[in-house]
Amino acid sequence: MSLDKNQLKDLIEKVLNLLGMHSDAAVNLLLGTAAQESHLGTYIKQIGSGPALGVFQMEPDTEKDIWNNYIYFRPEIENLVAEIAHVAEPNSLHLHGNLVYQIVMARIHYRRKSNPFPSANDELGLAAYWKNHYNTPKGKGTVEEFVHNYRKYVKEI
């Protein structure tokens, strides 16, 4: 059973507004990422023996990289993460079970990329952005899967 897409969208919007990183494209990209990675929260731990956690299926090594190479160099963002998500350092328990923290980390992950987001309603563009910047070209996920899961879990919002 997945999360209610409207409630998740509302929470993503609130968190991104608090971070000062809101855009319609960012909201749809995060919703699409959750749809692709966990079927909108059906899975909060990677199936099999993989290390990915939470609705965005982020790996703890990715979380640590974000902290070590981005957050710690931006005190204003570090303070926002602590204030909004109540997390002050990499923490796999929060990555697994703190939905606000998961949203924060997924958004910051995308924030580190220099390419601009596609249009908020460009499903194929969102899928390609996810593939290149979240799943990576070597990852198992495909643009076609993302589009399918976006339409299945998110589209009707």
pLDDT of residue 137: 84
Residue 149 CA to residue 28 CA, distance in Å, equals: 12
Per-residue pLDDT of 17-60, as tens digits, reads 999 999 999 999 999 999 999 999 999 999 998 999 999 999 99
Residue type for 140, please?
K
Residue type for 12, please?
I
Per-residue pLDDT of 52-92, as tens digits, reads 999 999 999 999 999 999 999 999 999 999 999 999 999 99
pTM of the model: 0.97
**Residues 71/34, Cβ–Cβ less than 8 Å:** no
pLDDT for 156 beyond 80: no
Residue type for 73, please?
F
Residue 136 phi, psi (nearest 5): 80, 155
Locate 57 and state its tokens. 């299926």
Residue 20 CA to residue 22 CA, distance in Å, equals: 6
The helix/strand/coil state of 58 is: strand
pLDDT for 157 beyond 60: no
